[in-house]
Structure 1
Amino acid sequence: MNIAEPPTVRHPAIPLGPLLGLSEGENPAAWARIRGAKLLAGRQMAMFMLAANLVGAAIVAMLFAPHLPLSWLGLWGLAAAGVGTAIAVRRLRTSAVPGALAGIADLRNTVFEGAALAAVWGVPVMVFDRYVDSGTALALWMVLSVLMSAAAVALAPLVPAAVAFIGGIALMVAAELIVTHLFVAAAGTLLFAAILIVGCVSRARALVLLRGSELTLTERDETVSLLLGESEDNRADWLWETDAQRRVIRASVRFALALELQPAEVEGTPLLKLLAGPMWEAGNFSPGLRQLADKLKRRESFRDLVMPVFVHGQERWWEISATPRNDDHGNFLGFRGVASDVTAERVTAEKINRMARFDPLTGLSNRLMIHEMLGEALAEAEQWDSRSAFMMIDLDRFKAVNDTLGHPIGDRLLRRVSERLGQLVTGNEAVGRLGGDEFAVVVRDAADMARVEKLAQSIIDALSAPYEIDQHVLWIGASIGVATSPRDGQSAENLIRSADLALYRAKDAGGGVFRCYEPQLHVDAEERRVLEIALRQALDRNELSLHYQPVVEAGSGRLTGFEALLRWQNPQFGNIPPAKFIPLAEAARLIEPIGEWVLRTACAEAASWPSDARIAVNVSPDQLHNPNFVTVVAQALANAGLPPHRLELEVTENAFVREGSSAVTVLEQVIGLGVHLSLDDFGTGYSALGYLSRTRFSSIKIDQTFVQGASRGMPEALAIIRAVVALAGSLGISTTAEGVETEAELNLIRELGCSKIQGLYFGRPLPVEEARALIRRARRPDASAAA
């Protein structure tokens, strides 16, 4: 039941739970106000109840004075006055504001007030009454009857207090009467108390119904006042009326003022002419005005029709509603309607629409708008049996600008990029920003594929030219993926995905180029997706293992240790080569947990080898950019019990060329642990000598391509190996030649002066059991010098 509803002839039932404060009602907000009203009513009767208690106490004291010690009566009188006063003060402290809210506990706690008063008045009944005659006892009962009746009046809104006080006194009196065998009197006392309590509950129900009705009326009055206030404050609405010929009649002043005309100028003028303004003569009508003219012609009602209206050359937006008028005989008399100026709302809506579809930084179309334009281009191409294209552009080296010069410079650079893109496109193309440093171009008509490719190359050339921003000369580049419909996708989602795959291929090629989508890209992407899912479970399923390739001294051929090489054997795909799954692990951010497992496993295995054997472990650039990598290394060594000098970490030059690289700092901390460091694949990357001067490497590994080239007599390869060996020797760094597969290559490498050799000539990567057997044979006293 909703207690805020006004009472009807048949009063709705009021549940006792909310009435007594035992539970919440169906409408908590309304019941909170009703409880506040009940407490307010109790507050208003607080002094009446105090006076009744004081007068009653005085009468009782006079009745018992001849029979009891005055000290007893004095103490009881003080107790009665103190309790009554405390309750009155408590009532007066409640809110005196009409409409205040009160909780269930506020009403429920009044039961303690009634119980306290009943306890005080129970003393004369249970104690004093034993020392007086029957006449005095009858007088006491009369006083108590008056007090109970007064409580039924004063405490009626506070039903818990009234029930506790009246019921408490009645029970004590009835008990005393039963003890003296006055059973009829006891029953009468209880009946009298029950009648008073029922009356209290009835009055409380009436108060709830009355307060509910007041709340309903108040809410309705407030609603009507609010509506009337809005109507008075809203000066943008006005009435208009036309005759059967659609001419304005009885023009209202406000309608004329909205058109900035006098009522006499408006009177008799066609409504459409007034609304069309200067467009009336040219006949260039807006769709909204044409729809209005059609409604007027058909004599149909219309509502909330929005159209532009030109008032003295200024565009305004009006919202118009109207209904046709007919006389008693059904003859059409014209239209009567209402109009309002919604220009502000229209401008706000356009701003919101622009924010939803345009990039706030560059002003270009955003991802949502690009998606919509691509969908329109695809639909148009399908209609004319043509082709459309989508280009996804990613800036090269943009992150370095943000990291080194800050985001404000980066934002200005993005605006300059958008300006150059805007200068390159024509009416056939639309350019937008997808987010971050990614842009896109929608080519509506891509029938001439050579023109599309020429545009892609022009974009790369334009964006690769230098930028001058705040006295900084910035060089970036661009990579582009191109997809064409319907071959590469017939929906916007498919075409965008195809362009993204083509962009991935362009970035994989080193950037600064464009690539067109090929079906194989999708096959490769699907294969990567499936492999990535399997790779995420490889560690838990124990599918990864380590093989160990021997590393020997170049001169003696003595086994010095192994390089740990990761292998993946999947039940579904078989043996997957590292060249395929290692880049996948790096792209999927799985290389760190996998690399940590490799490090721990290799250290644990090497701890069982002879004390002079080393283990070499490859480290990904992603691992070196994790500040916790040093802790990972230290824990792996400690858990395995492996001395740090027996661990050699192999890193490639790519670890140093990442933007914002912190690899040097991490490697210095690793070297501080006593771990050796080797520069792997030297000569195949950037080969900057600064790496060797900034980092204390203990070994340089010469890539197998130079070894094989030197064995074929290539002078460039021979010169590079000689230069690396000489450089390493001058820096006190050893050299390891990789990929030695024949005796001729072995002799050549020894002749060139390399320190160590690794390759199939000395052994393929071995499973752990074979590696253990090999090192046991190599360390036997009768073992030959060769590995």
Structure 2
Amino acid sequence: MHQNGFIKMIGSITCGLLAVQFCIGQVNWLLLGAWTLAVFGLYVYSYIKARKEAVWERKSISRRENIDVILTSLAGGLLWSIAVVLFGPSGDLNTMVGIWALVLCLMVGSAMLMSAVPLASIVFIGMCGLSSAFGWYLINGYQMAMASAAIAMLLIASCLMNGRSFINRKIAEANLNEKKEVVSLLLREFEDTGADWLWQTDTSRRLSHVSPRFAHAVGRTAEDIEGRPFLQLVAGQAWDSGKFPPALHELAEKLKRRDSFSNMLVPVMINDVTRWWEISASPKLDENGAFHGFRGVGSDVTEQRESADKISHMARFDTLTGLPNRLQLTETLGKAQQDSDKWNGRCGFMMIDLDRFKAVNDTLGHPVGDRLLARVSERLRSIMTDNELCGRLGGDEFAIVIKDASDSQYMDMLGKKIIDTLSRPYEVDQHTLYIGASVGTAIGPRDGRTVEMLMRSADLALYRSKDQGGGAHNQYEPKLHVHAEERRVMEIALRKALDNDEFSLNYQPVVSADTGGVMGFEALLRWTNPEFGIVSPAKFIPLAEDARLIVPIGEWVMRTACKEAMKWPATVKIAVNVSADQLTDPSFLDMVVSALHDSELPAQRLEIEVTESIFMREGTGATQVLDQIIGLGINLSLDDFGTGYSSLGYLRKTRFSTIKVDRSFVQGAAKKVPESLAIIRAVVAMADSLGMTTTAEGAETEEEVKMIQKLGCSKIQGYYFGRPMASHDALELFKDHNPDTLKIDDRAA
């Protein structure tokens, strides 16, 4: 570019001097001198300025600099237009031809040397072309005028074409430079990271041109592995035995067939350690198609592979117990069903639920519970054979897939063995723990042709085992689906029972053991449904608890019982059973206060009955709620004492006013069973020492009543003194009786 500027200056000045030579003696010397100085000054000045600003050394010029170049071309065109219009016609024809020839040379030179600035070249050519045509016109050279215009037009077209080609060439160069920079950057990054390496083989599949990075990946020097078979290097000891992993077999076939491959994952032995490589390669062929070996890249992806394996293991195994999780169990069960369909066999699915596990979690904490689950999984794993896959579904639920369940006796034996094994005591953190197990079994395809149906059938069988009190094994029966559907329909009806006014309360009297006088009633909930008729509380109360309906139902019971108790004498109390779910409800205490306020029943006439199950939920705050209830003046009664854990710690934590002795001990005492007699005596003695009263439940015969009185119980409740009765029948007891000496005629009751 610098040379082009210098040539342009020298050429332009030389043409100017030649023009002066043509015009000497024919043009005024002052005018000619001024023109010569202008031409010399213009081109020298423009060259010096361009060189000073290093215009030629830059890849681009600014808009102002571009305008300067155009103005310079405009000035040059004006000067040469003066020469061809004024100087040419003033002399003879030779002068005109000479000046025109010089102008034509400058026009061609401008078109060639100024293609980078096409607009400036067009301005110069256009002015010179027009002035040449006009000059020839002045001396009647019409053909030359037309030729001048035509030449100018051709040169302008050439400038446009050259300018376009120049711009396209520069764009292509810029794109190429950009790609070169990207490739260079990638190569530098490849060299710096060292994550991948290059490898190549010859026609015999032996390594050639071993790179340092590849040698480092192999753990040997380049000289040691140069020329060795590629497969021998990566196969390790398997090369001698010939027992290649499947991936290496596939690699060998690719190399043998000279096929390209990409991102192939292969295990390799490096220093007796298995590593995972991801390699790609393609055959090297010359212009004639001759094979010259393989060239490819590889990288060590052992860490990524191990991470992927770990994630896959976590997705299919339980992290706490190490047993297969629900996902793997369902997959295995699905495959077992396919096999049983294919070979006309049977498969089985067992669901296991731990009995009394929740009590361990609530009393000793979840860490102990987790360690207990680990011990359970160890025992289950110890009794599994190749025919079974044991896993954990979640919580305290486990499951077993039996691949071949053709032998029904084997299934029964396995269920019993599981219960016996899991029921043995556990030693965890210096605690001796006793739990049990309930098992439900379903056989496929008899009990379900899909995984979901078979699991549902096993779950129904397990539910039946839990209903039997735990520690039982039941196989699925079709009627269980009927019971489940009935339970579902009953739950729907139960949700509407309150709104449809289907509940009622019966009241069973509680009398003094000494006088037989009525001291209170226990409110007992009854449900009469148009579809199911009279439903047993043993059936709908657990359903209400499972469906979380016990809280609104319990509120209705509390408010109704308090209102009814206000119709009785002031000495008669009302006892209301409260579940653990009610006690843990945040609004329970406010509800009790509201029920007492709305009914105007004194707090000391209300007795709330709870069972030991509430103490199995230490983290729920039930004990604190009981203390607040006592603080309101409400009496507390501990129901069914002796049938559960019967911990004396409960009586230390909470000040109960009454302890109720279960009817099983009452019946045993009447039959003079030593254990029942001892238990009742112990409870009575303990209650007396703690300032509590005792109520014996379930007294049905005169012998039982006499034994209760003999053992010293304070109160008696049972059919002997009265069955649960409707509210109007309970109110009828108080007619024409002195409230202070109210008694029940047992024969009338």
TM-score in terms of structure 1 length: 0.60
CA contact (8 A) 1:477 1:512 kept: no
Deviations for 1:251-289, whole angstroms, at most 9, x for unmatched residues? Answer: 545444433455566555544444333212322122222
The within-5 A match list for 1:650-669 is 650-656=609-615, 666-669=625-628
Pick the structure with greater CA Rg. Answer: 2
Identity %: 57
CA contact (8 A) 1:322 1:337 kept: yes
Task: Find 1:638's aligned residue among 586, 590, 597.
Answer: 597
Distance in 1 (alpha carbons) for counterparts of 2:177 and 2:724: 89
- Is 1:376 the counterpart of 2:372 in the alignment? no
Counterpart of 2:563?
604
Distance in 1 (alpha carbons) for counterparts of 2:652 and 2:270: 77
Give the drift of 1:578.
1.0
Q: 1:229 to 1:592 in 2, by over 3 A?
A: farther
Distance in 2 (alpha carbons) for counterparts of 1:662 and 1:252: 71
Q: 1:694 to 1:262 in 2, by over 3 A?
A: closer
Give the drift of 1:306.
0.9
Q: 1:464 to 1:546 in 2, by over 3 A?
A: closer
Counterpart of 1:276?
235
Counterpart of 2:433?
475
Counterpart of 1:165?
none
Give the drift of 1:475.
1.9
In structure 1, what residue type is equivalent to 2:441?
Answer: A
Give the drift of 1:688.
6.5
In structure 1, what residue type is equivalent to 2:605?
Answer: R
Deviations for 1:631-650, whole angstroms, at most 9, x for unmatched residues? Answer: 43333212221112222223
Deviations for 1:88-131, whole angstroms, at most 9, x for unmatched residues? Answer: xxxxxxxxxxxxxxxxxxxxxxxxxxxxxxxxxxxxxxxxxxxx
Give the drift of 1:668.
4.5
Give the drift of 1:733.
6.1
Deviations for 1:381-405, whole angstroms, at most 9, x for unmatched residues? Answer: 4444443434444444445555555
In structure 1, what residue type is equivalent to 2:322?
Answer: G
Unaligned runs of 5+ in 2: 1-174
Per the alignment, in what secondary structure is the counterpart of residue 497 of structure 2?
coil
Task: Find 1:485's aligned residue among 402, 425, 443.
Answer: 443
CA contact (8 A) 1:466 1:473 kept: no
- Is 1:532 the counterpart of 2:500 in the alignment? no
Give the drift of 1:222.
9.7
Per the alignment, in what secondary structure is the counterpart of residue 485 of structure 1?
strand
Distance in 2 (alpha carbons) for counterparts of 1:259 and 1:691: 70
The within-5 A match list for 1:228-239 is 228-239=187-198
In structure 2, what residue type is equivalent to 1:291?
Answer: E
In structure 2, what residue type is equivalent to 1:477?
Answer: I
Q: 1:223 to 1:551 in 2, by over 3 A?
A: farther
* Count of residues in Structure 1 that have an aligned counterpart in Structure 2: 568
Give the drift of 1:698.
4.8
- Is 1:352 the counterpart of 2:311 in the alignment? yes
Distance in 1 (alpha carbons) for counterparts of 2:417 and 2:615: 32
Q: 1:567 to 1:242 in 2, by over 3 A?
A: same
- Is 1:315 the counterpart of 2:274 in the alignment? yes
Distance in 2 (alpha carbons) for counterparts of 1:277 and 1:502: 55
Deviations for 1:582-617, whole angstroms, at most 9, x for unmatched residues? Answer: 112223333233222211221123234443343221
Task: Find 2:298's aligned residue among 339, 343, 348.
Answer: 339
Give the drift of 1:307.
1.1
Distance in 2 (alpha carbons) for counterparts of 1:785 and 1:219: 107
Q: 1:764 to 1:784 in 2, by over 3 A?
A: closer
Counterpart of 2:59?
none
Distance in 2 (alpha carbons) for counterparts of 1:404 and 1:687: 14
Give the drift of 1:217.
13
The within-5 A match list for 1:158-237 is 227-237=186-196
567-576 or 461-470: which moved more? Answer: 461-470
- Is 1:575 the counterpart of 2:519 in the alignment? no
Q: 1:640 to 1:219 in 2, by over 3 A?
A: farther
Give the drift of 1:483.
2.2
Q: 1:542 to 1:301 in 2, by over 3 A?
A: farther
Q: 1:300 to 1:564 in 2, by over 3 A?
A: same
Counterpart of 1:366?
325
The within-5 A match list for 1:323-334 is 323-330=282-289, 334=293
TM-score in terms of structure 2 length: 0.63
CA contact (8 A) 1:677 1:698 kept: yes
The within-5 A match list for 1:510-549 is 510-549=469-508
Q: 1:766 to 1:306 in 2, by over 3 A?
A: same
Per the alignment, in what secondary structure is the counterpart of residue 194 of structure 2?
coil
Q: 1:559 to 1:540 in 2, by over 3 A?
A: same
Per the alignment, in what secondary structure is the counterpart of residue 275 of structure 1?
helix
Per the alignment, in what secondary structure is the counterpart of residue 360 of structure 1?
coil
Distance in 2 (alpha carbons) for counterparts of 1:282 and 1:588: 65
In structure 2, what residue type is equivalent to 1:585?
Answer: A
Deviations for 1:760-782, whole angstroms, at most 9, x for unmatched residues? Answer: 6766544445655665676899x
CA contact (8 A) 1:431 1:441 kept: yes
Q: 1:734 to 1:758 in 2, by over 3 A?
A: same
Q: 1:219 to 1:350 in 2, by over 3 A?
A: farther
Counterpart of 2:632?
673
Unaligned runs of 5+ in 1: 1-215
